[in-house]
């Protein structure tokens, strides 16, 4: 049987005339329109030489054509590789050099600076604008009409490659199969009671798991519709709540919505579900939201490698500060980080996950795959957690040296490497500090060269062309030396304590 995600999605369409996507400018696409538009795009991909198993990489603005490119890649049996629009050409060069896609699709305006990057990776450069313009948009519009026979795929065949940064060294491409994505979509549909009456406010980017898979796949598999916004704007999202039923967001969405005076029981009365994930939701935000709106935010926990693992219940208590219970079909255990033995309930340890949601390994990195994915199928998440008396999982910290800023991951090592290479810097330590809006803010602590000390503005200016903006430190602080333990390891805890109140 064809296990291609798109095939299963198409097979489940009950009402082809029903709205699947609407945009703020009043544009509306039915499910039949999606079948036709993705077919045209899939024909264009095939005419450009894409064959099953080829990677199709895209750094494009969030738009309906961009979503069609994702669906068309699935239909053509290709492996979709979405890239954050904030990545610089230097960052893109690594991803497409590693993934060697057949096509690299970028925004028409970015083509001049990305053409050499595509050429170096041996990828054909195509362009796609948010309005469907560009060489790929034109090829789709001018090419074959009519249906496209979605390429048969098995459950283990790859559907997508999503890069996650590594604690040390290079970013790793997480290989996600059709079976991974379909099983998780179905688990979430069931857990969150999605059906064709739902209207999702889609304000997340579509280059990560949350916006691309959780939000888009769940909506389309349910025959529901989504209001597809180019980015998150709290006033606009609040204004749409009157005709929507679900919002999915990172904690920063909820913090910013709470700052809107119009957020109250009346403005949220038509909504049935608010989902939060990708970073810890403060219990304080959960409580403030419930007080203002009467709704308990449903917090869930996932990651790129595993899709979604646990969720607070739809019916039953949604407990602030917890990420709920394992999703149907997903096994979660808490283990001793050293021995790997399962720990008794209540003890803090490493969260490990197994199930049809867990990825196939890291692209061309068998050693890294073997280090994180056990032979029995459990994935070592790098998150520290424990189960409470009711079986709810709490994430209490991260074993991995990771900062999550506004729901986006930043690996300190990557930023430190760039800073350490700058003139006037002896060494640096990058930490995450508590931030009222972003959850955590990337912060650099730098030991300056006493003879020619670097300044904060010079460091930030030098980093800007090298790193995506969300990775840039919000502040650069200076110290004569970094605190170290007897082994010589930098004591980041001490730095975090010392600067704890920096952002209020
Ligand atoms: C933007 N900026 C950020 C930032 N986003 N800085 C730090 N952290 C971020 N997340 C920068 C901008 O480049 C700009 O820099 C400045 O901050 C102000 O921008 P802004 O207008 O406040 O940003 P905005 O566009 O509003 O974006 C904030 C945001 C966005 C929180 C809405 O980052 C967002 O949509 N985040 C969601 C990320 C996401 O989808 N994560 C899911 C990963 S999947 P300057 O210098 O130009 O002023 C995953 C698995 C799972 O984790 O479980 O879901
Ligand atoms: P990513 O690598 O971008 O997929 O990020 C996944 C990481 O985000 C996880 O390993 C967790 O550390 C974190 N995360 C996701 N959801 C939650 C949550 N609800 N609470 C705490 N951390 C979360």
Nearest CA to ligand 1 atom 38: 407
Report the distance separating Cα 217 and Cα 240, nearest Å. Answer: 21
The CA 283 to ligand 2 mean position distance, Å, reads 16
**Are residues 196 and 223 in contact, defined by beta-carbon separation less than 8 angstroms?**
yes
pLDDT of the residue at 143: 83
Percentage of residues in the chain having pLDDT higher than 90:
94
Q: What's the average model confidence in pLDDT over 328-347?
A: 96
Query: Which residues make Cβ contacts (< 8 Å) with residue 156, sequence separation at least 6?
Result: 177, 178, 179, 360
Report the distance separating Cα 127 and Cα 105, nearest Å. Answer: 5
Q: What's the average model confidence in pLDDT over 241-249?
A: 98
pLDDT of the residue at 229: 98
Question: Ligand 1 pocket: which of 260, 408, 472, 474 to mutate (most atoms <8 Å of CB)?
Answer: 408
DSSP 57: E
Cβ count near 197 (within 10 Å)? 11
pLDDT of the residue at 401: 80
Confidence band of 493 (pLDDT split at 50, 70, 90): very high
Report the distance separating Cα 388 and Cα 323, nearest Å. Answer: 11
Cβ of 301 closer than 6 Å to ligand 2, yes or no, is: yes
The CA 278 to ligand 2 mean position distance, Å, reads 4
∠ CA 328-165-351, nearest 5°, is: 35
The CA 218 to ligand 2 mean position distance, Å, reads 19
Q: How far is CA 200 from the centre of its chain?
A: 17
The CA 463 to ligand 2 mean position distance, Å, reads 26
pLDDT of the residue at 168: 56
**Are residues 419 and 459 in contact, defined by beta-carbon separation less than 8 angstroms?**
yes
Question: Ligand 2 pocket: which of 163, 171, 278 to mutate (most atoms <8 Å of CB)?
Answer: 278
The CA 205 to ligand 1 mean position distance, Å, reads 9
Q: What's the average model confidence in pLDDT over 221-233?
A: 98
| C-alpha closest to that of 352 among 377, 316, 327, 317 | 377
Cβ of 87 closer than 6 Å to ligand 1, yes or no, is: no
Report the distance separating Cα 280 and Cα 252, nearest Å. Answer: 10
pLDDT of the residue at 487: 78
Cβ count near 96 (within 10 Å)? 24
Nearest CA to ligand 1 atom 19: 470
Question: Ligand 2 pocket: which of 83, 251, 277, 380 to mutate (most atoms <8 Å of CB)?
Answer: 277
Report the distance separating Cα 427 and Cα 219, nearest Å. Answer: 47
Q: What's the average model confidence in pLDDT over 169-174?
A: 86
Cβ of 279 closer than 6 Å to ligand 2, yes or no, is: yes
> Which ligand sits closest to the CA of 230?
1
CA distances to 328, 378, 426 from 386, rounded to whole Å, are 19, 17, 39
> Which ligand sits closest to the CA of 439?
1
Extract the tokens encoding 240: 């749409």
| C-alpha closest to that of 51 among 153, 196, 135 | 153
Cβ count near 114 (within 10 Å)? 21
Rg of the Cα atoms in the chain? 23
Q: Does the pLDDT of residue 170 top 90, yes or no? A: no
∠ CA 64-81-72, nearest 5°, is: 45
pLDDT tens-place string over residues 312-328: 999 999 999 999 999 99
pLDDT of the residue at 166: 56
Which residues make beta-bridge pairs with 433? Answer: 441
| C-alpha closest to that of 410 among 463, 336, 477, 351 | 463
Percentage of residues in the chain having pLDDT higher than 70:
99
Confidence band of 140 (pLDDT split at 50, 70, 90): very high
Confidence band of 471 (pLDDT split at 50, 70, 90): very high
For 19, list phi and psi in degrees, rounded to 5.
Answer: -70, 130
Nearest CA to ligand 1 atom 10: 406
Average pLDDT value over all residues in the chain: 96
Q: Which atom of ligand 2 is nearest to the CA of 381?
A: 10
């Amino acid at each position: 049987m064809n296990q291609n995600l798109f095939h299963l999605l198409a097979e489940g369409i009950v009402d082809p005339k029903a709205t699947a996507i609407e945009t703020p400018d009043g544009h509306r696409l039915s499910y039949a329109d999606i079948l036709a538009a993705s077919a045209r795009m899939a024909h264009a991909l095939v005419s450009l030489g894409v064959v099953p198993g080829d990677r199709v990489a895209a750094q494009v603005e969030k738009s309906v054509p961009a979503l069609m490119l994702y669906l068309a890649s699935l239909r053509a049996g290709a492996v979709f590789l979405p890239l954050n629009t904030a990545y610089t050409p230097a960052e893109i060069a690594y991803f497409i050099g590693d993934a060697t896609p057949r096509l690299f699709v970028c925004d028409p305006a970015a083509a001049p600076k990305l053409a050499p990057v595509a050429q170096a990776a041996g990828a054909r450069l195509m362009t796609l604008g948010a309005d469907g313009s560009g060489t790929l948009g034109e090829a789709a519009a001018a090419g074959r009409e009519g249906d496209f026979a979605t390429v048969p795929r098995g459950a283990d065949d790859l559907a997508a490659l999503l890069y996650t940064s590594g604690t040390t060294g290079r970013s790793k491409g997480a290989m996600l199969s059709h079976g991974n994505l379909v099983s998780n979509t179905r688990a979430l549909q069931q857990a969150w009671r999605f059906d064709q009456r739902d209207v999702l406010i889609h304000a997340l980017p579509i280059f990560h798991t949350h916006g691309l898979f959780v939000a888009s796949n769940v909506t389309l598999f349910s025959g529901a519709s989504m209001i597809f916004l180019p980015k998150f704007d709290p006033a606009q999202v609040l204004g749409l709540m009157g005709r929507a039923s679900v919002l999915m967001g990172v904690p920063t969405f909820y913090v910013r919505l709470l700052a809107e005076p119009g957020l109250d029981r009346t403005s949220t009365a038509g909504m049935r579900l608010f989902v939060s994930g990708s970073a810890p939701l403060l219990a304080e935000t959960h409580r403030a939201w419930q007080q203002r709106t009467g709704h308990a935010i449903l917090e869930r926990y996932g990651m790129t490698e595993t899709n979604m693992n646990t969720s607070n219940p739809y019916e039953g208590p949604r407990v602030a500060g917890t990420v709920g219970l394992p999703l149907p079909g997903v096994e979660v255990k808490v283990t001793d980080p050293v021995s790997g033995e399962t720990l008794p309930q209540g003890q803090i340890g490493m969260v490990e996950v197994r199930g049809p949601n867990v990825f196939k390994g890291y692209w061309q990195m068998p050693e890294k795959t073997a280090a994180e994915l056990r032979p029995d199928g459990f994935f070592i998440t790098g998150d520290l957690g424990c189960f409470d008396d009711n079986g709810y999982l709490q994430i209490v910290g991260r074993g991995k040296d990771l900062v999550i800023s506004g729901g986006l991951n930043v690996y300190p090592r990557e930023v430190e490497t760039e800073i350490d290479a700058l003139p006037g810097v002896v060494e640096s330590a990058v930490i995450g500090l508590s931030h009222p809006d972003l959850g955590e803010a990337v912060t650099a602590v730098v030991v300056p060269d006493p003879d020619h000390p670097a300044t904060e503005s010079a460091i930030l200016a030098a980093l800007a062309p090298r790193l995506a903006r969300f990775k840039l430190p919000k502040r650069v602080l200076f110290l004569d030396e970094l605190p170290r333990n007897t082994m010589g390891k930098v004591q980041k805890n001490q730095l975090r304590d010392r600067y704890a109140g920096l952002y209020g």
